Amino acid sequence: MPRDYDEKRDFIRVDVDCEIHFKPEGGGQEEVGRLANLSGRGMMFITRHEIPIDSVLEVRIQAENQVTAPLHAMVRVMRMAKQRRGDGFEVGAIITGVIDEE
């Protein structure tokens, strides 16, 4: 199926605007950020604090709408940058594993 856009990624990014709850692997203080986009392989979210690259986080996403399914997963931070507009930080992470809720 041909794509009608210039997308070079394996998975299409979907814009999402909802809370993301995250904490360091193995425990620690849970923080809340804002999810900006999500794909089949990764995500980008906004947080108030810097997160070191290569950090492993446990994340939970429960969208306010019924369109986006909940997600409980482990991610690895691949990119972190100061927001161009705003006081937070943009965090790019890849999903390393999905946690089964059962």
Read off the tokens for 9.
Answer: 């990624």
In angstroms and rounded to an integer, the radius of gyration of the C-alpha atoms of the chain is 14
Rounded to whole angstroms, the Cα distance separating 60 from 62 reads: 7
pTM assigned to the model: 0.83
**Average pLDDT over the chain, rounded to an integer:** 87
The whole-number pLDDT of residue 69 equals 73
Confidence tier at 8 by pLDDT (50, 70, 90): low
**What single DSSP character describes residue 45?**
E
Read off the tokens for 32.
Answer: 């809340």
Q: Chain-centre distance of CA 81, in angstroms?
A: 14
The whole-number pLDDT of residue 95 equals 96
Q: Mean pLDDT: which of 2-16, 63-77, 80-94 is highest?
A: 80-94
β-bridge pairing 42-47 and 89-98: antiparallel
